[in-house]
Amino acid sequence: MSAAILPATARMLAELLTRTAAATGFRAARILLATAATATDGCIARAGVVVVRRDDPLVRLAEAATGPVPFPVAQLSDTALAGIGSAAVTLLLLPSNPAAPQPVRNAGEVRVLALIDPHPGGEHPVPAAARIPIELLDSAVDAVLESVAARHRHDELEHACRLATARIDAEHRLDAADGATDTMAALVRLCAEISGKPVLLCDPRGRVVTAAGYGTRVALPDPAAILRAHGPAHPRRGAPTMVPTGPDSTLTRRKLLAPIVERDNHFGWLVLDEYPAGFADLDQYILTRTARRLGTQFLVQHRIARVAWNARSSLTRQLVRGSGAAEDLAASGEYLGVNTQARRALVYVLRHRTDTGDLERELAQRMEHLLDAEVLSTRGSEGILLLVEADDATPPAATLTRVKTALAQAATELRVDPELIAGVSGVCEPSALARAYREAREVAQCIDRFSEHDRHRILAVDDLGPARLFLANGPVGAIHQFVEDTLGPLLRDEAAGPELLRTLDYWFGNGRSVRGTAAELGVHENTVRLRLAKVHTITGLDVAGHPADQLSVQSALLVQRLRGSTAGAHPRATVTSAHTGNATDRPADELLAAAAGTEERRTA
């Protein structure tokens, strides 16, 4: 419908109303249009049509009358004509035109002819109302409304065509971005470019992955805060969610929040910021399509990572078992970027009422970050194996301390159930990994047999020594009885027992040196000798002079430490542990550096 038609129909109706007023002796004439579908087109007002409410007093008056009704407008202020200065009107209800096309005549619509202000001195024009071309006026109103409806349909089609063209263009540009090197960042940048608004990509926990369009004028919002307040608990692929502002919100601008979901996997969120203009029809579409493509990219990357991880896991098992020719292992390692000749420490994480799932991969990735070293992982029938690359420039004792600290830190950060039990081998060559596996597994079994499962327990082979063979394979009941027979009198002596047990711990921790023990305890050397003699008196065991008694007491003390009775124990003999949910306030790198430095000083 040409835009020139609308003024023509409007002028035609306006001219008819002018002639109707002149023919009946009135100053002006108007059409009151009461309809549920309120028209807002300016052409209607120019044609002399006044859109009123369905409950307007003049409309109700015309509906109740059987002919022309004179009415003094001054008696009612809340009328459609009250604002045009009229003194009186004559109302005529226009008949319904059964031939009017839909949707020109809406259900419940009422049309009223209002003749405004008779000329001064003239007769009341009610008899002249019969000369008014009522049907012609009604048809003219139909023509105007049909023209308006046609133009609206035309505008809607034009808008739909423009939107479809813009969507096709966006799809082509998104297709081109799929081949970029940094595909995810390129898609986010393109989404910001097409929409003209800032966009950010965050992971499921609300951490920013990449963003585009943010700068000095518009600050990067906190996606975690948005997700806590508005993120669905179980996001599903679909239309984006509008995140509103308001008195209860910390947001200053609205956001469109789209979940990135593919094959029931939730990979993150895409957020579109309402700046510098309001949201348009294309914004929701481009955000949805970008989220779909990002979901595909995440899924592909996860599959690639899974394949690579499975290959590394297979190589890890071969290294531990010692299977495969060295040349074949080296070739596989070169392909996967793994140095098969590196010295490593083996960590055996015992699975005990803990769903491993992807825990081996998460632990390895977190420890790689904390240690800045390569960590290989694989899963066995009873637990998880981690191979931690050792730095040749770092003493083995310091390496083991860093490994234990990093594992405890990683388990705490990953919120692993408070039952993680791990044994750590010494630093060894690739050819000794099979033996390292047996030793670390024995350490984990010792912890599992004698410890309370209320915290993360991590011990190295050197922490237990040869006694691990006895503890890992001996009857538990007999070992508990052995501890009772050896240390029972000291454990029951509440007065002197704790001090004597602490002295024994420090004495064995200092290589049975009286001088070293006295220096660490801050007492005289003779005091240490007297305490050892008192142990001999109470238990009958000559720990100062008899090697067999020394071995018995040291083994019993080790079982006590595994039980968790470490109060007063020498620091080098204490079980490494960490409670879940109580992460240290110090940065992980600082914690590891401090642990390594402490171990180096002790070694020196």
**Residue with the larger pLDDT of the pair 586 and 29:** 29
Considering 26-40, 427-441, 442-456, 461-475, the range whose residues carry the highest mean pLDDT is 427-441
State the pLDDT at residue 100: 56
In this prediction the pTM is 0.52
Region of 553 (left: φ > 0; alpha: ψ -120 to 50; beta: rest) is alpha
What is the tens place of the pLDDT at every residue in 551-591? 888 888 888 877 765 444 555 554 454 443 333 334 444 44
Confidence check: pLDDT of 78 > 70: no
Q: What does the mean pLDDT of the chain come to?
A: 80
Final residue before a domain boundary, out of 112, 133, 151: 151
Residue 127 has pLDDT above 60, yes or no: no
Q: How confident is the model at residue 193 (pLDDT cuts 50, 70, 90)?
A: very high
Name the 3-class secondary structure at 579. Answer: coil
Residue 342 lies in a domain: yes
pLDDT recorded at residue 597: 45
**Are 530 and 460 contained in the same domain?**
no
Domain count for the chain: 4
pLDDT in tens, 104-114: 566 778 888 88
- Predicted pLDDT at 591: 40
Q: What is the predicted pLDDT for the residue at 283? A: 93
The pLDDT of 494-513, averaged and rounded, is 86
Which of 417, 439, 464 is the endpoint of a domain? 464
Tell whether the model's pLDDT for residue 512 goes beyond 70. yes
- Check whether residue 40 and residue 72 sit in a common domain: yes
Q: pLDDT higher for 301 or 596? A: 301
Residue 103, preceding peptide bond in cis (omega within 30° of 0): yes
Please state, in angstroms and rounded to a whole number, the distance separating the CA atoms of residues 583 and 569: 23
Statement to judge: residues 437 and 348 lie in one domain: yes
Of 571 and 54, the structure prediction assigns the larger pLDDT to 54
**Which two structure tokens, joined as six digits, stand for 95?**
């008949």
Domain harbouring 426, CATH code: 3.30.70
Burial class (CB in 10 A: 0-12, 13-18, 19+), 102: exposed
Query: Is it the case that residue 452 has pLDDT exceeding 80?
Result: no
The pLDDT, as a whole number, for residue 565 is 56
- Tens-place pLDDT, residues 415-426: 776 678 899 999
Percent of the chain with pLDDT over 90: 18
Average pLDDT over residues 303-330: 83
CATH of the domain at 523: 1.10.10.2840
Q: Could you tell me if residue 19 is inside a domain?
A: yes
Domain with residue 221: its CATH number is 3.30.450.40
Instruction: Report pLDDT for 97.
Output: 63
Please report, for the domain that includes residue 99, its CATH number: 3.30.450
Residue 215 falls within a domain, yes or no? yes
Looking at the structure, do residues 285 and 359 belong to the same domain, yes or no? no
Residue 225 lies in a domain: yes
Question: Do both 255 and 370 map to the same domain?
Answer: no
Residue 157 lies in a domain: no
| Same domain (yes/no): 355, 410 | yes
pLDDT at residue 126, rounded to an integer: 56
What's residue 584's pLDDT? 35
Cα separation, 440 vs 385, in Å, equals 10
Both 415 and 528 in one domain: the answer is no
Q: What is the pLDDT of residue 34?
A: 86
- Non-local (6+) Cβ contacts of 356 within 8 A are 379, 383, 384
What pLDDT, on a 0 to 100 scale, did the predictor assign at position 578? 43
Same domain, 37 and 135: yes
Q: Sorting pLDDT into bands at 50, 70 and 90, what band is 130?
A: low
Of 460, 420, 452, 421, the C-alpha closest to 580 is 420
Distance of CA 164 to the CA centre of its chain: 32
Q: 435-439, 465-469, 587-591: lowest mean pLDDT where?
A: 587-591
User: Model confidence over 320-329: pLDDT tens digits?
Assistant: 988 767 788 8
Whether residue 393 has pLDDT greater than 50: yes
Of 464, 495, 527, the one marking the end of a domain is 464
Q: In this predicted structure, what is the pLDDT of residue 85? A: 67
Dihedral Cα 533, 535, 536, 540, nearest 10 deg: 170
Between 597 and 314, name the one with better pLDDT. 314
> What pLDDT shows up at residue 102?
55
Same domain, 137 and 110: yes
Based on the fold, state whether residues 203 and 292 are members of the same structural domain: yes
pLDDT reported for residue 603? 40
* Shared domain check, 316 and 210: no
Q: What backbone phi and psi angles, to 5 degrees, belong to 395?
A: -60, 145
Residue 166 falls inside a structural domain: no
Please check whether residue 24 lies inside any domain of the structure: yes
Look up the domain containing 147 and give its range.
5-151
Specify the pLDDT at position 39.
52
- Tell whether 448 and 475 lie within a shared domain: no
User: Among 80-94, 121-135, 155-169, 303-317, which is the least confidently predicted range?
Assistant: 121-135
